[in-house]
Structure 1
Amino acid sequence: MLVKERSELKKMAANAKNRLKFGSYNAKQDNVINYLEYGNIKISREEEILYRKVTEIIESNECIINPIGRLMDKQLYEEMSQAERLKYVLELSKTYIRLQTKYFQERHST
């Protein structure tokens, strides 16, 4: 039984080596890259929406006490557990600070 398992392992290793040697993995790798690019595009769209909201908050000339609350998806927030809520607020805070910095850098560079 042990000999059979070793020979199977050797076959699998040889197949993997051949795939690397002859480049048959490239098609799968291209699919992974396309999937990652799609993820970046999706994140970019979400950030673009948040960036518009941050711009509105900054340019509103109001004294805003809770900008994170304005960016928050309240329906999503209500459905989360306490731990998920904390993580969501912290991530949203980091995003707000990053987008606020981006806003001021763009305004000062022009």
Structure 2
Amino acid sequence: KRRCTQEIISSLQVAKLPFSINDGKWHHLCITWTIRDGIWEAFQDGVKQGHGENLAPYHPIKADGVLVLGQEQDSLGGGFDATQAYVGELAHLNIWNRKLSATEIANLANCNSKAFVGNVFS
């Protein structure tokens, strides 16, 4: 198995995510973050696995920003290393402009939500 590290990076702050996804199975992952206090929560398959605080509080995500998935970035605008890339598939990526509740996340993970897609990106 390859080593699998997941992180949230905002400016110079990093939060290590407590996911275990390198088992060859599909997983539902959800990360919430609030701008007011920088509190984040990480859910895997509908179950809260970790949380933290002070992750870029009061630093809004700008409309012209860059979202990088599946690749560790060593420097802004580049610094990618192919040996640090995610190998696998991503499906049903959704982004909301609000924090989802634990119940909403569990419903999404268990396919109990009809047409519940992100209002920013889906």
- What range describes the TM-score normalised by the shorter chain of this pair? under 0.3
- Structure whose residues are more often helix by fraction: 1
Highest RCO, 1 vs 2 (Cα 8 Å, sep ≥ 6): 1
Could you say which structure has the larger radius of gyration? 1
The TM-score normalised by the length of structure 1 is 0.19
If each structure's strand is expressed as a fraction of its own residues, which one has the higher value?
2
Q: TM-score, normalised by structure 2?
A: 0.18
